[in-house]
A and B are shown apart, each in its own frame.
Chain A
Amino acid sequence: MLSVEEIRRQFPILHRQVRKGVPLIYLDSAATSQKPLQVIETMQRFYQLMNANIHRGVHTLAEESTAAYEKAREKIASFIGASSTKEVIFTRNTTEAINLVAYSWGRKFLQPGDVIILTEMEHHSNLVPWQILSSEKGIRLEFIPVQEDFLLDLDVYRRLLELRPKLVAFTHMSNVLGTINPAKDMIRLAHEAGALTLIDGAQSVPHFAVNVRDLDVDFMAFSGHKMCGPTGIGVLYGKQELLEKMPPFLGGGDMIKKVLLRDFVPNTLPHKFEAGTPAIAEAIGLGAAVDFLQEIGMDWVLAHEQEITAYGLERLSEIPGLKIFGPDASHKGGVISFTMQGVHPHDVAQILDQDGIAVRAGHHCAMPLHEKFHIPATTRASFYLYSRKEEVDLLVAGLEKILTIFG
């Protein structure tokens, strides 16, 4: 059995002080996770020993770097249960992956009047690309409401499906509420209604085992930087038969098989969607992050976060005037968003920062969700595999201090 202390030893940044004598308490992993040595060193080794542009090169370094890049793709394919590496497209992040689907699949296959179903709890990255498409092509957007208990209203969802939508796109786990949506059932219902499905896995893939074949999802987007990997690398998973039919997203080098002066033949999957020199070191770094997570085991990660979150919910609910936005622990991942009566979330975050506690304040890229609850912002504490109960205690102590300052 692993100890959190052993895991923490892998993360140099967790041992820094924010100021002299003030150690870092990092409770902002939903924004981006910290990186273990294994990832940092893998990327450093790549630049020190192997760096070369990938594909088409015949020299040794090019062969090695191409192999390492494609090996990373294999690791990720197996991590999410994809049937083939052709289904794993490297992008910059979740946002780019969703935009790829909206741009390529949406423009080719949607007609004016077609319906796309989203939810009220989407991150802007699973909202704005569809809004752009909607205004360009006259697509109708419908939204599954969030209920009082912070879960999706699945009765409304069933009714919306009667509109015969072309796509249902929703977040697997809300980055604000922590709500984990019943993806498998929602996907099955969508398929029964003839719709394709996309899940925003930005908050799920890092935190629990997600298997695309078990879910039977058509597209899934996620970001490397939230799962112990570097920034600048993300993934679009797509079922091969869908990706085959989709036109290229960006045009340029690498995504072509052949180029004439006035025409081109696109490359095969997955390269068709990877134009230009990709983030090679970052892809390899993400491969190392996947190794790291698999060595620990996603079941361990989930259990650990559930324990911390349950403890956090219990401790935070002791604080007078503090209101938590999110369901109970049984439906929730490791984020706790809250407001404090009479204190603005930015003030909360700023005062906590003085004690080295890093939390986030704002709308967390989910403005419509905040508007629904009639609040401009929340403060969010989020946990990951290296979080400790002691850190929850320090958070609570910091919040109590805020009560005395503003009391």
Chain B
Amino acid sequence: MDDLYREVIIERYKNPLYKGELDPCDIRFEDENPLCGDHIRIDLRVDDQNRVTEAAFSGHGCAISQASADLLLESIIGKSLDEVKALTKEDVLDLLGIELGPVRLKCALLSLKVLKAGVYGLGEAPDDLVGEGIE
């Protein structure tokens, strides 16, 4: 466990660097994990090259979902939207540095799901956006 709750995860949960709202913003999307009620909204600003200049998330949830949102947003600053679209489940798990069972995987991948649905401009966030193994 001490693995699952690595220092970086607890630290990012308690003191997130990207928590907040961007108003106005270019891309906004929100969704929740009905299982545990975790809720995440992501706001992005992009430049004229479609590169992410600023990112923020708001909402509530467990340490895994909140830390993964914070680490994910940190990793996309300066990336193009095409690069964001190419992000996978493995990228998020690498950021977290942990292995997760199917239930907590949903927590970890909620932010990626929200991010990709926002970037694709979708009306809703289908689970298959972030790869297999999450239903």
A344-B1 contact given A363-B37, A376-B37, CB 8 Å threshold: no
Contact residues on B (Cβ < 8 Å of other chain), bracket: 10 to 19
A346-B36 contact given A376-B60, A405-B10, A406-B14, CB 8 Å threshold: yes
Interface majority SS on A: helix, strand, loop or mixed? helix
Among B49-57, B61-69, B111-119, B120-128, the stretch that binds chain A is B61-69
Which of B1, B63, B104 is the one whose CB lies under 8 Å from A354?
B1
In Å, the complex CA distance between A354 and B1 comes to 6
Q: Min CB distance, A210 to chain B, in Å?
A: 32
Q: Min CB distance, B11 to chain A, in Å?
A: 11
Q: Which residues of B contact A346 (CB under 8 A)?
A: 36, 62, 64, 104, 107
Which of A347, A362, A377 is the one whose CB lies under 8 Å from B63?
A347
Residue of B with least CB distance to A353 = B1
Q: Min CB distance, A392 to chain B, in Å?
A: 21
Contact residues on A (Cβ < 8 Å of other chain), bracket: 10 to 19
Which of A353, A377, A405 is the one whose CB lies under 8 Å from B36?
A377
Q: Min CB distance, B107 to chain A, in Å?
A: 7
Q: Min CB distance, B36 to chain A, in Å?
A: 5
Q: Which residues of A contact B2 (CB under 8 A)?
A: 354
In contact, B5 and A347 (Cβ under 8 angstroms): yes
Q: Which of B8-60 contact A (CB under 8 A)?
A: 10, 13-14, 35-39, 60
In contact, A362 and B14 (Cβ under 8 angstroms): no
Q: Which of A341-382 contact B (CB under 8 A)?
A: 342-347, 350-351, 353-354, 361-363, 370, 376-377
Q: Which residues of B contact A351 (CB under 8 A)?
A: 1, 5
In contact, B35 and A362 (Cβ under 8 angstroms): yes
Q: Min CB distance, A397 to chain B, in Å?
A: 14
Q: Which residues of A contact B39 (CB under 8 A)?
A: 376
A405-B5 contact given A376-B37, A377-B37, CB 8 Å threshold: yes
In contact, A344 and B35 (Cβ under 8 angstroms): no
Residue of A with least CB distance to B61 = A344
In contact, A350 and B104 (Cβ under 8 angstroms): yes
Residue of A with least CB distance to B3 = A354
Q: Which residues of B contact A350 (CB under 8 A)?
A: 1, 4, 104
Residue of B with least CB distance to A375 = B37
In contact, A406 and B36 (Cβ under 8 angstroms): no
In contact, B5 and A361 (Cβ under 8 angstroms): no
In contact, B36 and A347 (Cβ under 8 angstroms): no
Question: Which positions in A face B, CB cutoff 8 Å?
Answer: 342-347, 350-351, 353-354, 361-363, 370, 376-377, 405-406
Question: Which positions in B face A, CB cutoff 8 Å?
Answer: 1-2, 4-5, 10, 13-14, 35-39, 60-64, 104, 107
